[in-house]
Amino acid sequence: MSRKENAASLVQDYAEVFICPVCGDTVEVVELKSVVCPKRHTFDFAKQGYINISTRSMKVNYDKELFAARENIIMKHKLYDPLHTRLLEVIKVEAANNPRSLLLDAGAGEGSHLAKILDQMKTVTGIGIDISKEGIRLAASKSEKAMWLVGDLANIPVKDQSLHTIINILSPANYQEFKRVLIENGLMIKVVPGANYLIELRDTILEEQKRFFTNEETISLFKQHYSDVQIEELTYTKELHQEELRDLIKMSPLSWNAEQESINEVRNREHFGITIDLAILIGKNR
Ligand SMILES: [Zn+2]
């Protein structure tokens, strides 16, 4: 089977979960080519194995180079491996109860986090959604254990209470929609930066008043939406060599507001110690 047919066959296997993104009716997979609803709204699988359900085209502030850098940082340089290890432990507990557990990565980008997590899970199937077609195109070639969608987080094309776990890593949330699609007691996991996230980079390239930020509001909003909330802090440092450092700068939104001169200064360092400081917010959907 081609990659496209593989992807279509996975969606077919879970067709009862999906709804038409236009009218909300049930859908079926036709000839391993398209997803179609009774009103004939039709979404074709791309040859890379994803579906574009986005109803509006949107210019996003990401590009190929940024996704390539993110992919290197996550897959090759393994900067977020301690995060994946912890997420796997948490997700496995939920997945143990269900042989057809569905894990949504909301804001999956180029799919690296989800692909790495699914690689180490036997019974879980993924759904990766992102508004960036460029990102999802790369994602679809990375893992065949997930169904990849180009679409809006405000309109996730699945039935109410049909997903078991949602991860939302360093990416904006849409709690109203997340609550709709998660099963009762389903697991919501959001990863946000802590005060010392990439602090060395921020201290070097940002003006003083832009260096400080706090995740207090994000945490308080999360607590309003979910029950039994646990907050785990995960902090570690890594010595980056030049190639890793350059990829990190490329993928980092921090560098968008920085002076080119100070970015260049950092880019030319042979080594650079970096702190990854994250808060993992875990809650139950009730
Ligand atoms: Zn429809």
**91-146, pLDDT tens digit by residue?**
999 888 888 999 999 999 999 999 999 999 988 999 999 999 999 999 999 999 99
Cα–ligand 1 centroid distance for 126 (angstroms): 23
The whole-number pLDDT of residue 62 equals 64
Closest CA to 29 of 41, 16, 11: 11
Distance (Å, whole) CA 194 – CA 84 = 17
Cα–ligand 1 centroid distance for 53 (angstroms): 11
The whole-number pLDDT of residue 64 equals 84
Cα–ligand 1 centroid distance for 110 (angstroms): 27
Strand partners, 241: 271
Distance (Å, whole) CA 187 – CA 70 = 26
Longest Cα–Cα distance in the chain: 59
Q: What are phi and psi of 265, to 5 degrees?
A: -60, -45
Q: What are phi and psi of 35, to 5 degrees?
A: -105, 130
The whole-number pLDDT of residue 58 equals 63
Residue 182 burial class via C-beta count within 10 angstroms: exposed 0-12, middle 13-18, buried 19 and up: buried
The whole-number pLDDT of residue 257 equals 76
Cα–ligand 1 centroid distance for 107 (angstroms): 24
* Segments in the chain below pLDDT 50: none
The whole-number pLDDT of residue 261 equals 86
- Sketch the domain layout of the chain as residue ranges: 49-284
Cα–ligand 1 centroid distance for 55 (angstroms): 12
Q: Which CATH superfamily is domain 49-284 in?
A: Vaccinia Virus protein VP39 (3.40.50.150)
The whole-number pLDDT of residue 60 equals 63
Cα–ligand 1 centroid distance for 46 (angstroms): 19
